Amino acid sequence: MMANETRFYFDIMQAPTEVTGSFNYCTLHVNDETIKFAVDCGMYQEKGYDEQNLSFPVNPKELDFAILTHNHVDHSGRFPYLVRKGFNNPIYTTVATSRILGKAFEDNLKVMRDTSQHSNNGPLYDEDDLLKTLSLVEPCEYLEPIVVNDHITLHFLWNGHLIGAASVLIHFRNGGGSGIWILFTGDYNNKNVFFPVPPYRSWIKQIPNLTVVCESTYGLMKSSEIEYTFENNIIKALRDGKTIVIPAFSLGRSQEILQALKDMQISYAADFKGIPVYFDGKLAFFYTKMYRKLWEEEQERIANGNPHRIVNFYWDKVEFLPKNLQYVDDKSLRNRIIEESNQKIIVTTSGMGSYGPAQTYIPAYIQRKKALIHFTGYCAEGTLGRRLKDAEIGDIVRVGGLDVEKAGNVEFTNEFTAHAKADELIDYLLQFESLDTVLINHGSNEAKAAFAKRVIREVKPKHVGRLGDGYIFRIDESGFVKQFSTEFK
């Protein structure tokens, strides 16, 4: 660099990925200084991506800090492995996420140990890595400017994806001028059953030459295409005398399903009369109890005059547990539930059916005609949920180490998805008055391509790109500068 020449730009790229394994590698260049950081560090869950869990597109020792948008394993699961490989700097996330992260890491470690017994791959990290990772976490308040250094300030924005989730606005500065502004949506939703998602403040919508890194999980779907079938399926199964097994993700989904069952108990009291509801999954127990604890803490903060909100719950949604709910916390009770012939509802982890107590319930009930297995979210390629979805009644399905005949009914719904649909994401992008660049990530290749076309036609930013397919994108104060290819090994 020549004397008196300034250098101020931002580079971003993403390792090859589709829906899971989120890892955005970012570099800020300021004169002679280079600042490197990552936004999210998740595990790959799709079939065929296992080996990519073992590598990063950067030496972890070179990262100056990291940001975590929310506590889902495909965004957070490899942070202890990043630490194991040499990362030793702050991890910025919201207060609520920081409170639940430790249990998530512990559960992920348990799953890895269980699965390693049947493969040649050991866990990515151990307890020491886990504890060191938690020691690096920096809890942040929503909307409070977080000064990382002289050049970087973070703003965590409300996001309805789940409790503790945030979109992250980053401001890069180099003396005067407006600086460079990048907004990561993370996994985004404009609504949540348990808390409101306030609109962005006007100054955010007016940021000049803004770049948005936007998810596209449902880039192929309009909100009008969502079919609300869960309630009808549950009531029909109850009237047909079936036992119902509902696999659900521990955080967010389990609590929403319990809320839905409670509402149905009121609306369809006769159908639910005498039907016990069992809830199984230790991590889901923890998160469910944490909802109440966070609500109580929030009331205390308000009473003490603290303006910052951890969650900002709807008051009427705090008591969301259905009647006749029984926690299943030991194997003997789980086995007795399966052996007893009475009709029942079982809400259990994991959401895709491949881990947790679902591995016990599904093999037992998939072989019974008087059973409904009802999945409530996305099931990645290679998971038990996907195999059951693809199988017909009478097909032989591999469930763990067993080959069983599919006799029970299997249903799926996407109505509980915690992601905004394509039209909602378009509306989200249209709120910004000076949108220069949209970089699309976190979606299948097909979804990213389809959503990119919609953004070009309906939002009309100056530039649209897709992360994760081998390109680095460079941004400066005026917006997009250039792209160039890179090799990921």
Percentage of residues of the chain with pLDDT beyond 70: 96
**Rounded to an integer, what distance in angstroms lies between the CA atom of residue 6 and that of residue 33?**
11
Asked whether 257 and 356 are in contact (CB, 8 A), the reply is: no
> 218 falls in which pLDDT band (50, 70, 90)?
very high
pLDDT at 1 over 60: no
**Rounded to an integer, what distance in angstroms lies between the CA atom of residue 167 and that of residue 184?**
6
Tokens of 289: 């109890």
pLDDT for the residue numbered 122 = 82
| 381 or 256: which leads in pLDDT | 256
**Rounded to an integer, what distance in angstroms lies between the CA atom of residue 409 and that of residue 202?**
50
pLDDT at 2 over 60: no
Segments of the chain assigned to CATH 3.40.50.10890: 227-412
pLDDT tens-digit readout, 183-204: 999 999 999 999 999 999 999 9
Asked whether 384 and 353 are in contact (CB, 8 A), the reply is: yes
pLDDT for the residue numbered 486 = 75
**Rounded to an integer, what distance in angstroms lies between the CA atom of residue 419 and that of residue 410?**
23
pLDDT tens-digit readout, 359-406: 999 999 999 999 999 999 878 777 888 888 889 999 998 887 788 899
pLDDT tens-digit readout, 412-471: 998 999 999 999 999 999 999 999 999 999 888 899 999 999 999 999 999 999 998 789
| SS3 of residue 330 by DSSP | coil
Asked whether 479 and 209 are in contact (CB, 8 A), the reply is: yes
| CATH topology classification for 8-221+417-485 | Metallo-beta-lactamase; Chain A (3.60.15)
pLDDT for the residue numbered 143 = 94
pLDDT tens-digit readout, 306-316: 767 777 887 66
**Rounded to an integer, what distance in angstroms lies between the CA atom of residue 291 and that of residue 259?**
12
C-alpha pair distances (Å), 264 with each of 229, 232, 238, 317, 327: 13, 10, 12, 15, 19
Percentage of residues of the chain with pLDDT beyond 90: 71
| SS3 of residue 58 by DSSP | coil
DSSP state of 433: S
pLDDT at 487 over 80: no
C-alpha pair distances (Å), 372 with each of 160, 344, 395: 30, 11, 16
Q: What is the mean pLDDT of residues 13-40?
A: 90
| SS3 of residue 325 by DSSP | strand
CB 296: neighbour CB atoms within 10 A? 11
pLDDT for the residue numbered 489 = 38
| 2 or 474: which leads in pLDDT | 474
pLDDT for the residue numbered 416 = 93
pLDDT at 240 over 90: yes
Provide DSSP, 183-242: EE--S--S--SSS--PPPPHHHHT-TTEEEEEE-TBTT--GGG----HHHHHHHHHHTT-
pLDDT tens-digit readout, 65-107: 999 999 999 999 999 999 999 999 999 999 999 999 999 999 8
Segments of the chain assigned to CATH 3.60.15.10: 8-221+417-485
DSSP state of 143: T
pLDDT tens-digit readout, 267-283: 999 999 999 999 999 99
**Rounded to an integer, what distance in angstroms lies between the CA atom of residue 90 and that of residue 84?**
14
Question: Rounded to an integer, what is the distance from CA 191 to the centroid of its chain?
Answer: 14
| Phi, psi of 238, deg, nearest 5 | -60, -45
CATH architecture for the domain at 227-412:
3-Layer(aba) Sandwich (3.40)
Q: What is the mean pLDDT of residues 178-183?
A: 96
What average pLDDT does the structure give for the chain? Answer: 91
pLDDT for the residue numbered 488 = 45
**Rounded to an integer, what distance in angstroms lies between the CA atom of residue 443 and that of residue 58?**
22
Following CA atoms 390, 392, 396, 399 in sequence, which dihedral angle do they give, to the nearest 10 degrees? 50
